[in-house]
Structure 1
């Protein structure tokens, strides 16, 4: 069995690489997907495809429609979603992706530090598993494949 896992969350740190490297070192049969990690490309994909927009609002709207399409398709392909909430960035996209996963009936592992327990309590209650670190999420993934 191979799992398709969508990694939802901020694109400013290397948490996705950490999960991918740890899964690979454990030889877990997982294919990972996620949002466009090149921040500039994500922000300007609308203009790259549709041409120059008249202002920042139109530029953001054009990019978000294309990014939302990408996310919707990859979330539908996912067997499992891991959503990471860190303390540094505003994470509306992460909340939106985690909520979409829940509404689609996708199993969800929520990673959030203890300090975000209160603001994420409802979302955490809907997730299948809530952990506080990438290492704990990897242990959950590894357990899925344990035979004993």
Structure 2
């Protein structure tokens, strides 16, 4: 059995590559999907497909429509979602993806540092499991195969 894992969270560093490498080291049968991590492509995809938009509001709206469709398709095909909340970046997209996963009934693992316990308490309460590190999230997934 192989699980497809949607990795929700900020796109400004290579945390997803680190998760995939650690999963490979543990020989976990996991396949990973994620939001578009090419930030420039994500921002311009609406105009790439629909053409030049009249202003930045319409540009963002066109891009978000395409990105939301992509996220919905990949998340629906996923078996489990890991949503990483870090301290460095604003986490609006992560919160939206985690909420969507929970609403879709997807098993959801929240990864958040201790400093975010209070602001994420309701979301954490709705997730299946909340941990503080991606290593702990992988241990949760490894337990599925025990």
TM-score by length of 2: 0.97
Distance 2:51 2:61 in 1: 13
Distance 1:112 1:14 in 2: 17
What pairs up with 1:1-148 in 2 under 5 angstroms?
Answer: 1-146=1-146
TM-superposed CA distance for 1:143, in Å, is 1.5
Deviation per CA, 1:24-53, whole angstroms, max 9, x where unpaired? Answer: 111111111110000000000011111111
TM-superposed CA distance for 1:121, in Å, is 0.2
Deviation per CA, 1:91-137, whole angstroms, max 9, x where unpaired? Answer: 11111111111111110000000000000000001111100011111
Which consecutive unaligned segments of at least 5 residues does structure 2 have?
none
Deviation per CA, 1:64-89, whole angstroms, max 9, x where unpaired? Answer: 00000000111110110000000111
Distance 1:11 1:17 in 2: 11
Moved over 2 A (4+): none
Which consecutive unaligned segments of at least 5 residues does structure 1 have?
none
SS of the residue corresponding to residue 7 of structure 2 reads strand
TM-score by length of 1: 0.96
Distance 2:49 2:108 in 1: 32
Distance 1:5 1:138 in 2: 11
Distance 2:19 2:142 in 1: 11
Q: CA RMSD in A?
A: 0.7
SS of the residue corresponding to residue 8 of structure 1 reads strand
